Amino acid sequence: MSGICEGRVVVVTGAGRGLGRAHALAFAAEGARLVVNDLGVGLDGTPGADSPARRVADEIRAAGGEAVPHGGDIATTEGAASLVHTALETYGRLDTLINNAGFLRDRMLVNLDEDDWDAVVRVHLKGHFLPLKHAAAYWRAEAKAGRTPVARVVNTSSGAGLLGSVGQGNYSAAKAGIVALTLVAAAEMGRYGVQVNAIAPAARTRMTEETFARTMAAPAGGFDAMAPENVSPLVVWLGSAASAGVTGRVFEAEGGRITVMEGWRPGPSADKGTRWTPAEAGDVTLKLLAEGEAPGAVYGAG
């Protein structure tokens, strides 16, 4: 029986470990041909000595699938362009882009260095933008040539980006930016046959198993709710032609649970019809807050 991604060409960034690896293996199991990207850096983004992208590509090929590794830095124009070029050169096409790469440099705001801010925003937000830009340029050209693609993009946000996370100002800001980028890309690229969605996963990875050690620990037996493989089925479906009509949406995925996130929407409102005084603005704002819903919890970082 063929899988729901049979013949599709899929690029997964940050696919050497954790969620990215799980996604790559799940796509391969459904018949996709993979470009496995990973720069091979440590948890904080410092260079590593191994090649996790090659290991995962070898694992896919050993299981009978098709995969090639890509070790470029997708937060650079050259690296992102070569990522798309690798797919086109190897397989002649690109159908799905899974943006997943990232790392952490957690600090409370008063201790957060500018370099730590820049590094995390760069890999998460710029590392989503540049591969998306180069893939979108290819898909737009295909559509204009009369070959409208059935293209899919799945971006990776986080609960930290939706609700905030203490000690993760850089990470939370980048992940919130990814949601906004997803909405813009979905609106801009729909005419070219491209659907763009985002997930906010909760799973055991290098980035979570230390910070949230207690909740991320694997159980002695039974269902492992925090296994990264639990998130991949939704990602594979979103990356397939079967998800036709689903775009500009954000989903939480954890264990056996999938949640459609509904985001910002208007709550209680008051209109005086003319300018408020500061005191009036304060009075009416307190009344509106009392009528509205309480904000979501901000995650703790440890």
Cβ atoms 82, 72 nearer than 8 A: yes
Structure tokens at 196: 């763009």
The sign of the CA dihedral 161, 261, 133, 12 is: positive
**Annotated catalytic residue 91:** no
Rounded to whole angstroms, how far apart are CA atoms 64 and 70? 19
DSSP single-letter state for residue 144: H
Query: What residues contact residue 146 under an 8 Å CB cut-off, 6+ apart?
Result: none
Catalytic residue among 91, 126, 157, 158: 158
Catalytic residue among 82, 91, 138, 171: 171
Question: Which ranges in the chain belong to alpha helices (H)?
Answer: 18-29, 52-62, 77-91, 114-121, 127-144, 159-163, 169-189, 213-216, 232-238, 278-291
**Annotated catalytic residue 158:** yes
CA angle 16, 248, 135 (to 5 degrees): 50
Element (H, E) at 33: strand 33-37
Catalytic residue among 91, 175, 243, 299: 175
Query: What residues contact residue 236 under an 8 Å CB cut-off, 6+ apart?
Result: 4, 5, 23, 26, 27, 30
CA distances (Å), origin 150, targets 26, 29, 37: 20, 20, 22
**Annotated catalytic residue 175:** yes
Three-class SS state of 47: strand
Rounded to whole angstroms, how far apart are CA atoms 62 and 76? 31
Q: Which residues are catalytic?
A: 158, 171, 175
